[in-house]
Structure 1
Amino acid sequence: MSNDPSKTLPAVDAMREDWALVDALMGGTKAMQLAGKVYLPKWPKEDDDAYKERLGLSTLLPAFSETVQNMKGRVFAEHIALGEDVPETIKAYAQNFDRQGNNLQVWAQQLFTVGLSHGLCHVLADYPKTKDEQGNSVVRTAADEKAAGVRPYAVMIHPQQVIGWHTEEKGGECSLSQFWYAEAVEERAGDFGVTVIPQIRVLIPGGWRVYRKTEDANGKKEWTKTDEGTNTLPTIPLATYYTKRTGFMTATPPLLELAHLNKKHWQSQSDQDNILHVARVPMLMISGIDDDAFELKVGTSSATKLPTGGDMKWVEHTGAAIEAGRKSLEDLEDQMRIAGAKLLQKDKQSTKTATQAEEEAAQEMSPLQTMAGQLEDTLDQVLQFFALWKGEKEGGHVKVNGNFDVDFAPETTLPLLLNMATQGRLSDETLFNEYKRRGVVSDDIEWEVEKQKIADQGPALGAL
């Protein structure tokens, strides 16, 4: 039993263990270097200065982060389409979905990136406060609402912000009864400064509370409720985007194995760089000589006279370990490439349910396609919460049109498409759209407009 809102649930602690590696890999070389011995262990008998130098020279192959970015590019190959069932009032919000200037397309890409890298991400459909400090309403009419810019908007809650949640059973379903997370707000400090204040926001159906750390008369700091409010919604307006769900409000990163391979490559690359540094500097070996018996001269314009029985030579690395290290790195890179590509492999199950047998398309969906469908569902939920805030019955639906083909090389597919169109087996419009989907034609060009331009310019020279 705990009354400390900052104490995380065990389920959150378990997920954070995986997120730590994911955050470091997404942060690149600098973040991995800051993690230090966590992901680059110190060698036995290696002194601190030598370790710091080795750590500072280590560089990360960004296989994990680039895979996430590449998959994001595939999912958002085309703009998100708002369905005809989306009310006009809500369609207008798509141009500034989070009230921070990000349209739905840009904002959804951020949501997908976090969801893919961490396994899940949360979205709060929030609404600005409409009452002043005295509890008086500042928005009474639709005109007041428009003038004040009061409207629902999306707040992305990173999984690392989440502290915990409570559930209850309603109508035979698991329902969210409380959700709390950490956030930071900036308050003005003088003419040019700002003060960042950490706080915890607690959401409940029909209301919310804010806790901040305060200091009592004895100097003891504790979390104290500093603000609260109510709203008209019967539920917590929170939508969760899952990419690899393990339970209610829990998930695991779908690319976790790739993350571990990338960590191993980081360590192996550091070893390889170090052995190359050592191998490139030959050592001078002297035997059979008393060091005090002669003056040692080393250089292209000098020579050293050795006494009888003395020997001096350069000792160099054979290179066998270097070649083995290089091969090991190449093998790791191949393994990472395969691990990332698995998101595009369609799932052909040997045993199918009755529903799956009826839906052939579902049988051949790749994990990335499934994630795109889950993204659609999450965005639909957010729009529905917007509708609840606005008193609308339905928020409508969106369509995510991505590219989920394994072989999508334009240099091989474009000649084939052109040949099909020339033989009359593919329409000009479909050919145009396929060129557009592959990035050969700008997304800003529409078929109807281009079709009219082609007609206006007359027949091509080859057709005369």
Structure 2
Amino acid sequence: MATNRKNEMYKLLHDAYYGDGQFYDGSALIKHARESNKNYARRKKLAYYLNYVGPIIDSTVLPVFNDEIKRDYSDTAKFKMFLDDVDRVGTNLQDFMSRQAVAAKLYGVVYILVNNEATLGESEADDLNMRALPFLTAIEPKNVTGWHFNERGRLIDFSYEGVYYDDDGYHVRKYKWTIDSWEVRDEHDQLLKSGNNNLKRVPIVQWFGRNTDPRRVLPAPEFISIAKTNYHIYHLCSLLSQISDNQAFNILTMQSAGTNMTDVTIGTNNLLLYPSDTNAPQFIAPDSGPAEVLMEQIKNLVGEMYRMSGLNSVIGVESAKSGLAKKWDFERTNKNLVNFAVQCEKAEKAIITLYEMWAGETVNYSCEYPRDFNIDDVADCLAQAQQAFDLDITSKTFSLEVAKKVLESYMPNIDPDIYDTIINELQAAADDLEQSTAYGSELDDDQSND
């Protein structure tokens, strides 16, 4: 049996994404060898976190769920109720999938338990009244404690921990599913509940953040390097703040014989006298070199994070690139998004398959996640369209196809009916132009014959 030893990694990913925990209270900062406790406490209080992990993760997930996922199924009463409330707390399937997609991408995997109510009604109406239906529970990898595969690679048992709260406080519960049974134990390993698993399979769905061998139950998170880089930027920002805080003000210097020196008060309401045979007092500024080095290092690390994520040509980094280079960057981004969309689609279909097994009904379910994430530059699209029209290709079909490309780029979310109306108007205008051109040609021929 394997044991989860990656909790520290998962905590870093969680805090880096949400800007919470160690980045909020400053505990992520490491105390200098000769730093006083007072200075360390002050430095933690002044620390600030520049969150790059959050936007990077979101940019690899949100495009998949920009629009409602296309779903087709037999609309039974039980299945409709399930789709509207998949987790018994009112979350519909679309929201559940988009929420857990973030966890799958962030941690590398998330597990979905498709469970069923222990007590069922005497009729379907009773089941609907009690919501005695299958339900989903998301299990983050930090809570996975054990698993086994047989020689064929089939998952034969799966264990995880959970925490719940009641009047007596928080309690740890240990859950285990096998192909034949299930059980629940307390934190002292005392058996609380158990039962038979009539599905004869472990009702767990593996949802990976990228294409992964299913036997890798706790794969290395895809974005751990980016999270650690953001962690280092957090430290550099603290050092930069310390330099700015300690050396922000210039220092006034003046010549002195070294004797009979007294305190001198400098301000806007008094004067500073100095001997006429000496140089005037002047301000000296602290060396800006260390701060500039830190700022340059932070800038480079930010660029590296976007480069590692494959988003350097999309967000965060401004650079002049050729059209071919942009195309290759887009291809990489598009393939990564498509790969994740495939993982989401596989997970959703597996969830519904287990629902059908628990509910004892077939809903003929199908879903279709997007396979193209075209990100058009509107200005480039319009310029290309104008160049196409400038070719003077005398083809009505060609002109209409160019117009469609312009509409798709300039108004991507246009209502389908309005889109059809515009195309029909363009078609009619093209027909009128074609007829008037033909009529004009006939007149020219008649005049030339006269």
Common topology (TM > 0.5): yes
Counterpart position of 2:192: 226
C-alpha change, 1:29 and 1:322, in structure 2 (3 Å) is farther
Cα contact 1:295–1:304 (8 A) shared by 2: no
Q: Does 1:248 align with 2:237?
A: no
Q: Does 1:97 align with 2:97?
A: no
Match for residue 109 of structure 1 among 98, 102, 111: 98
- In 2: Cα distance, 1:106 partner to 1:263 partner: 30
- In 1: Cα distance, 2:384 partner to 2:221 partner: 38
Q: 1:323 is aligned with what amino acid?
A: E
C-alpha change, 1:201 and 1:434, in structure 2 (3 Å) is farther
Match for residue 139 of structure 1 among 110, 121, 138: 121
Q: 2:290 is aligned with what amino acid?
A: A
Q: 1:234 is aligned with what amino acid?
A: K
> Number of residue pairs matched?
402
C-alpha change, 1:412 and 1:91, in structure 2 (3 Å) is farther
- In 1: Cα distance, 2:343 partner to 2:307 partner: 24
Give % identity.
17
> Normalising by structure 1, what TM-score?
0.74
Q: 2:287 is aligned with what amino acid?
A: T
Q: Does 1:159 align with 2:141?
A: yes
* Per-residue deviation, residues 324-351 of structure 1 (Å, max 9, x unmatched): 2222222122112212225999xxxxxx
Q: Which has the higher contact order (CA 8 A, sep 6+)?
A: 1
Counterpart position of 1:185: 164
Equivalent runs, 1:312-461 vs 2, <5 Å: 314-341=283-310, 366-392=335-361, 396-401=365-370, 404-405=373-374, 407-413=375-381, 423-425=399-401, 438=412, 440-441=413-414, 445=415, 447-448=416-417, 451=420
Q: 1:198 is aligned with what amino acid?
A: V
* Per-residue deviation, residues 246-303 of structure 1 (Å, max 9, x unmatched): 6431211112221122112111111112212223123456786668753433333335
Counterpart position of 1:22: 13
Cα contact 1:87–1:395 (8 A) shared by 2: no
Give the 3-state SS of the residue equivalent to 1:183 in structure 2. strand
- In 2: Cα distance, 1:280 partner to 1:333 partner: 25
Cα contact 2:26–2:47 (8 A) shared by 1: no
Q: 1:260 is aligned with what amino acid?
A: K
Deviates more, 1:258-267 or 1:394-403: 394-403
Cα contact 2:381–2:406 (8 A) shared by 1: no
Q: 1:24 is aligned with what amino acid?
A: D
Give the 3-state SS of the residue equivalent to 2:66 in structure 1. coil
Match for residue 45 of structure 1 among 16, 34, 58: 34
Cα contact 1:206–1:234 (8 A) shared by 2: yes
In structure 2, runs of 5+ residues without a counterpart are 315-330, 390-396, 434-450
Counterpart position of 2:243: 275
| Larger Cα-atom Rg | 2
Cα contact 2:381–2:409 (8 A) shared by 1: no
Counterpart position of 2:46: 57
Cα contact 1:77–1:402 (8 A) shared by 2: no
C-alpha change, 1:284 and 1:268, in structure 2 (3 Å) is same
In structure 1, runs of 5+ residues without a counterpart are 2-8, 131-137, 214-221, 346-361
Counterpart position of 1:348: none
Give the 3-state SS of the residue equivalent to 2:118 in structure 1. coil
Q: 1:115 is aligned with what amino acid?
A: A
Residue 410 of structure 1 and its aligned partner are, at CA, apart by: 4.0
Residue 112 of structure 1 and its aligned partner are, at CA, apart by: 0.9
Deviates more, 1:374-383 or 1:43-52: 43-52
Cα contact 1:58–1:270 (8 A) shared by 2: yes
